[in-house]
Amino acid sequence: MTERHLNYIAGEWQPAFGGATFEDRNPADERDLIGLFPDSAATDVAAAVASVASAWPAWAAQSPEVRADVLFKAADLMSLRADTIAAELTREEGKTLNEARNEARRIAANFRLYAGEALRLNGETYPSEVAQLVLSLRQPVGVVAVITPWNFPLSMAARKLGPALAAGNGVVFKPSEITPLMGQRLVEVLLDAGLPPKLVALVQGKGAKVGQAITAQAGVDALTFTGSYAVGKQIAASLSTDTRVQLEMGGKNATVILADASIDKAVATIERGAFGLTGQACTGTSRVLVARPLYAELVARLEKSAAAIKVGPGTSEGVQMGPLATRAQYDKVRAYVGIARDEGGRVVGGDALPETDPALAHGYFVRPAVVSDLPENSRLWREEIFGPVVAIRPIDSLDEAIRLADDTEYGLAVSLVTGDLPSVLRFARETQHGIVKVNSPTTGVSLNAPFGGLKHSSNQAAKEQGGANVMDFYSRIKTIYLGA
């Protein structure tokens, strides 16, 4: 029997009003149907927004301790369910079980972090010549729409839902149609932890239809989105000027290897950043700039290392890289490998495993690809791929490294491998990226540190995740003058 899943609107699990559904399938074996999910439309979005709008004022009036308690309980429940949800995440998105467990367990830490923030929604006091006392306080924004991607369907949702709820808001949550089950599991955890039933609405469906309905729907006070630049730009153009918006978008991230770097460390750093999570991370390494004396050896070592990566279903023993998440991703990566060859690049790897391994014939598997000798203006060097493909170029100076690392429309993450402190300080100061990593991969960030990029990687709103200003997007500041 095919399992039929539901939206959660107005405190009830229900199908889409029009009755339409879409399929959710396993990227390691497209014959495996996970279930049918509601293919929602504008009517569902309108009902979700109306329900959340009616519920959030009562939640905002609760004490911070009450809001924190729900998030602490959600963290405990997530810890208990982490292994079960991780297995479902591997089946739905394709990442290895180890990667899925790391993500699922991280959600508990996210909820605990934001439970603490509920207790730290502090205002300030100011000396004044026009009143006895001037003070500020934080209040909720209201209805927050949360639109999340498929590559980290739990952690990216938790770092938006957590602070939104901690600040006293209600949430209309639209997960990616590629990972709808993970969105459902997260909502189930929050409800089981005691979240008021109408405070959150889960609206499943295709991004083009549901996302557009959310941006057109009156009553949405704030929208936070993580995804592609093209979609983010469209969202920003569609929203009312009264709606605050937070956009985290793409990246074309580089790792820079200076001449003093250890080759072993360089290879390990690149491999993890480029091929971990099947290269499907917005902070993933897609370009490598290496000092010319190390270039030939690094290319050879990385080609050998990439070829040794075991690719297969994320549930299989010893697998280091799972499938791409969708047929569209698979076709895109294969197309870019062809483009690299057409542009004159030397390509090692990038094979479609279903063509060479019958056991993988029904999944979206490719070998990681290492591309060298590309011209600087090549499409592979400049365009976001979102797959396990890394391009390598030699450099002759730190000036050139900074110029080439920044020569992209994006500015999310960059990594530098060196032991030279002056170079580290100069690079970190001058590069136009929101995240700078030193002697570590471009991927992997701390929960309590600000996250966000520059240029087309972000709309430069309040940063996501931890830091002093983490609640700025989810709360309004009101100033009060107390006279005699």
C-alpha–C-alpha distance, residues 230 and 207, integer Å: 13
- Is residue 321 a contact partner of residue 146, using CB atoms and an 8 Å limit? no
Distances (CA, A) of 164 to 55, 161, 206, 427: 14, 5, 23, 35
What confidence tens digit (pLDDT) does each residue in 49-67 have? 999 999 999 999 999 999 9
Average pLDDT, the chain: 96
C-alpha–C-alpha distance, residues 351 and 324, integer Å: 13
Q: Which domains does the chain have, with CATH numbers?
A: 7-249+459-482 (3.40.605.10), 253-438 (3.40.309.10)
Q: Residue-wise over 293-316: b if at least 16 C-beta within 10 A, else e? A: ebbeebbebbbebbeebebbbbee
* pLDDT band for position 358 (cuts 50, 70, 90): confident
What confidence tens digit (pLDDT) does each residue in 172-182 have? 999 999 999 99
C-alpha–C-alpha distance, residues 375 and 227, integer Å: 28
In 375-430, which ranges are continuous DSSP H helix? Answer: 379-382, 398-406, 421-430
pLDDT computed for residue 327 by the predictor? 97
Give the three-state DSSP class for 388: coil
CA 187 vs. chain centroid, Å, equals 18
pLDDT computed for residue 469 by the predictor? 82
C-alpha–C-alpha distance, residues 406 and 258, integer Å: 16
β partners of residue 35: 24
Picking from 107, 121, 110, the residue whose alpha carbon sits closest to that of residue 62 is 121
Picking from 75, 214, 237, the residue whose alpha carbon sits closest to that of residue 145 is 214
What share of the chain has pLDDT > 70, as a percent? Answer: 100
Query: E-strand spans in 3-61?
Result: 7-9, 12-14, 21-26, 29-38
Which of 121-125, 192-196, 239-243, 425-429 shows the lowest per-residue confidence on average (mean pLDDT)?
A: 239-243
Residues 6+ apart with CB under 8 A from 316: none
Picking from 46, 146, 76, the residue whose alpha carbon sits closest to that of residue 474 is 146
Can you list the pairs that 102-106 forms with residues at least 24 positions away whose Cβ atoms lie under 8 Å? Answer: 103/152, 103/154, 103/155, 104/78, 104/154, 105/79, 106/154, 106/155, 106/158, 106/447
pLDDT computed for residue 75 by the predictor? 98
- Is residue 429 a contact partner of residue 376, using CB atoms and an 8 Å limit? no
pLDDT computed for residue 470 by the predictor? 86
* pLDDT band for position 349 (cuts 50, 70, 90): very high
Give the three-state DSSP class for 283: coil
What confidence tens digit (pLDDT) does each residue in 388-445 have? 999 999 999 999 999 999 999 999 999 999 999 999 999 999 999 999 999 999 999 9
User: What's 162-209 look like in SS3?
Assistant: HHHHHCCCEEEEECCCCCHHHHHHHHHHHHHCCCCCCCEEECCCCHHH
- Is residue 89 a contact partner of residue 306, using CB atoms and an 8 Å limit? no
What confidence tens digit (pLDDT) does each residue in 148-187 have? 999 999 999 999 999 999 999 999 999 999 999 999 999 9
- Is residue 186 a contact partner of residue 107, using CB atoms and an 8 Å limit? yes
Task: Please give the average per-residue pLDDT across 95-121, as a whole number.
Answer: 96
Joined tokens for residue 69: 């308690």
Q: How many CA atoms, within 13 angstroms, populate the side-chain half-sphere of residue 310?
A: 9
Percentages of the chain per state (helix, strand, coil), in multiples of 5? 40, 25, 35
The H-or-E segment that residue 18 falls in is none
Joined tokens for residue 64: 């911070």
Place of tokens 């950043």: 273
* pLDDT of 22 above 80: yes
pTM for the whole structure? 0.96
Which positions are catalytic?
248
C-alpha–C-alpha distance, residues 259 and 429, integer Å: 20
* pLDDT band for position 462 (cuts 50, 70, 90): confident
Q: Residue-wise over 59-93: b if at least 16 C-beta within 10 A, else e? A: bbeeebeebbbbbbbbbebbbebbeebbbbbbbbb
250 φ/ψ angles, rounded to the nearest 5 degrees: -85, -175
Task: Please give the average per-residue pLDDT across 330-347, as a whole number.
Answer: 96
C-alpha–C-alpha distance, residues 19 and 213, integer Å: 17
Picking from 234, 228, 159, 207, the residue whose alpha carbon sits closest to that of residue 410 is 228
Task: Please give the average per-residue pLDDT across 313-323, as a whole number.
Answer: 96
Residues 6+ apart with CB under 8 A from 426: 398
Place of tokens 């991230």: 253
